Structure 1
Amino acid sequence: MPRRTPGDARRRTLSQNFLHDQQVVADIVATLHPPPGALVLDLGAGAGALTRAVAAGGNRVLAVELDPRWVGVLRSRAPAWGDVTVVAGDALHVPFPAERFLVVSNAPYAIGTKLVRRLLTDAHGLTRAVVVLQREAALRLAGGGRFAASWAPWFELTVHRRVPARAFRPVPSVDGAMLTVVPRAQPLLSPAAYPRYDAFLTAAFSGRGNTLARRLNVRPSALAALGLPRDATPGAVPPEVYARVFTALE
């Protein structure tokens, strides 16, 4: 049996799986599509595959990494990559910049959902993010569930290409996927409506009955008038449609 190194133990503890496939790296950067000179945060930079690729496009990069060993590696390599600043810190707690910025991340799968939630709640200067998550997690966050419906009035969450497990080293047990987070140029609801909208979603996803009409205690014809099937179930309604149903029923 091969001898396990301290690096192996560290990767297991921190759930580190580094991108190895350069075509996947290129696809992630192309999906982020940062304009030249833009500020990009690489949250969970690891060995720097994404940091290097983003910096090569003429962007300013803040590479945030928690593991002290990889912080040292990044700082030794960064001068050759361009305008890169390495920050020793936790992607879930590092302060966001005051200026507008983009985010790219191949953070450990274990913190993926928490990281996306933080971008949605705290990253007020965010213009676009591409996050690599477990594929099932990406589909859940962007699919027909409570999470996506909660944020759809203000953000577009979209699942892009599958990232095969073999694209990482060490190879994880499941495939990943690219999830984009993009603030809507024109929100579907005012932020002031959130408390009422949240109560509406609680009824839609936790109320009694199998159909959305039953859970909202409305006539099926009211949903039909909005272009929905009379027997629509909560999970079958696209996340962005909930804002329209909420507005109409209010």
Structure 2
Amino acid sequence: MARPTSTSRALSQNFLADRAAARSFARLAVPHGTHAPLLLEVGAGKGALTSTLAPRCRELHAYEIDPRLVRVLRDRFAGTPHVRVVGADFLAARPPRTPFRVAGNVPFSRTADVVDWCLRAPGLTDATLLTQLEYARKRTGDYGSWTLLTVRTWPRYRWRLLARVGRRSFRPVPRVDAAVLRIERRRAPLLDATAYGDWRHLVELGFSGAGGSLHASLRRAYPRRRVDAAFRAARLDRGVLVGEVAPERWLRLHEVLTG
């Protein structure tokens, strides 16, 4: 979609050039029958995804930080009134007060910051992002292990790896493949606000590494007999590594330890 200029490299820009992949992404971001009232696109580039997302929402705010590409976008979508091209850093945007979705081809170097922005936005319903494949696999447990961020947010968000996108679908071609990562806010949280505070404390303690194992870490805050009972209830071996514990088993640990 763009020549590998120094600006592209500085902004970590790898533009999606595969039209079929763009159409597939739009279907995943806004599934059939779920027309989005407000969609925010991060990293619009020249509009490869913008053009496929626009028919699926009533209002689209396309964010692009590169002023050269902002001009291209405004020319391309001048006749599409419900598409608003925003020449600004998405991360500096104030989240809308009404429910909204996020979608986009995220600059790989800024993925963590974009995900953090989404998780902190009260009105976010879901985010569908093109990220590095490795990042998506780590966050969704596809490697058979789970990260602190995923487990900590699990009662409120569901993390899913929806598709893989080969690196040759991008220009310039990155060194690694990409994936479509979806983060969905649960309509009904698995824990209420009070219990969620205890949950965060438990999970962060477990991932702290204190004591050398999950079992030992939890014993720093809970009696050994209760930790043993929680492990039995969650069907966990005492020697299990913290990253190997799926979120559903963390919920069982939480139920026994804090109930």
**Separation of aligned partners in 2, 1:141 and 1:179:** 9
Give the equivalent residue in structure 2 for 1:159: 161
Aligned-pair CA distance for 1:190: 2.1
1:188-240 CA distance string (max 9 Å, x none): 22233444333212321124445432321254443122333444321111134
Per mean C-alpha deviation after superposition, the further-off stretch among 109-118 and 55-64 is 55-64
**Separation of aligned partners in 2, 1:21 and 1:85:** 24
Which consecutive residues of structure 2, in runs of 5 or more, have no partner in the other structure? 220-225
**Separation of aligned partners in 1, 2:191 and 2:150:** 14
Give the equivalent residue in structure 1 for 2:236: 228
- 1:140 partner amino acid: K
- 1:213 partner amino acid: H
SS of aligned partner of 2:207: helix
Give the equivalent residue in structure 1 for 2:130: 132
Give the equivalent residue in structure 1 for 2:254: 246
- 2:181 partner amino acid: L
**Separation of aligned partners in 2, 1:98 and 1:80:** 27
- Verify: 1:186 aligned to 2:188, yes or no: yes
TM-score by length of 1: 0.89
After the TM superposition, which residues 209-224 of structure 1 pair with which residues of structure 2 at under 5 Å, given as runs? Answer: 209-217=211-219, 218-224=226-232
Give the equivalent residue in structure 1 for 2:94: 95
Matched residue pairs, number?
A: 245
Aligned-pair CA distance for 1:13: 1.1
Considering only aligned residues, what root-mean-square deviation do their CA atoms show, in Å? 2.2
- Verify: 1:9 aligned to 2:6, yes or no: yes
- 2:49 partner amino acid: L
Is the 8 Å Cα contact of residues 56 and 81 (structure 1) preserved in structure 2?
no
SS of aligned partner of 2:252: helix
Instruction: Give the share of equivalent positions with the same residue, in percent.
Output: 35
**Separation of aligned partners in 2, 1:131 and 1:12:** 20
Is the 8 Å Cα contact of residues 15 and 108 (structure 1) preserved in structure 2?
yes
**Separation of aligned partners in 2, 1:154 and 1:206:** 22
- 1:154 partner amino acid: R
After the TM superposition, which residues 51-70 of structure 1 pair with which residues of structure 2 at under 5 Å, given as runs? Answer: 51-70=50-69
SS of aligned partner of 2:152: helix
**Residues 41, 58 of structure 1: CA spacing in aligned structure 2 closer, same or farther, 3 A cutoff?**
closer
**Residues 37, 171 of structure 1: CA spacing in aligned structure 2 closer, same or farther, 3 A cutoff?**
same
- 1:95 partner amino acid: R
SS of aligned partner of 1:79: coil
**Residues 58, 236 of structure 1: CA spacing in aligned structure 2 closer, same or farther, 3 A cutoff?**
closer
**Residues 156, 20 of structure 1: CA spacing in aligned structure 2 closer, same or farther, 3 A cutoff?**
same
**Separation of aligned partners in 2, 1:249 and 1:168:** 47
**Separation of aligned partners in 2, 1:208 and 1:57:** 48
**Residues 98, 219 of structure 1: CA spacing in aligned structure 2 closer, same or farther, 3 A cutoff?**
closer
**Separation of aligned partners in 2, 1:37 and 1:222:** 42
**Separation of aligned partners in 2, 1:195 and 1:150:** 10
- Verify: 1:27 aligned to 2:28, yes or no: no
Per mean C-alpha deviation after superposition, the further-off stretch among 222-231 and 85-94 is 222-231
Is the 8 Å Cα contact of residues 52 and 81 (structure 1) preserved in structure 2?
no
1:114-136 CA distance string (max 9 Å, x none): 10011001x21111210111111
- 2:123 partner amino acid: G
- 1:248 partner amino acid: V
1:109-157 CA distance string (max 9 Å, x none): 1101110011001x21111210111111222233312111111111001
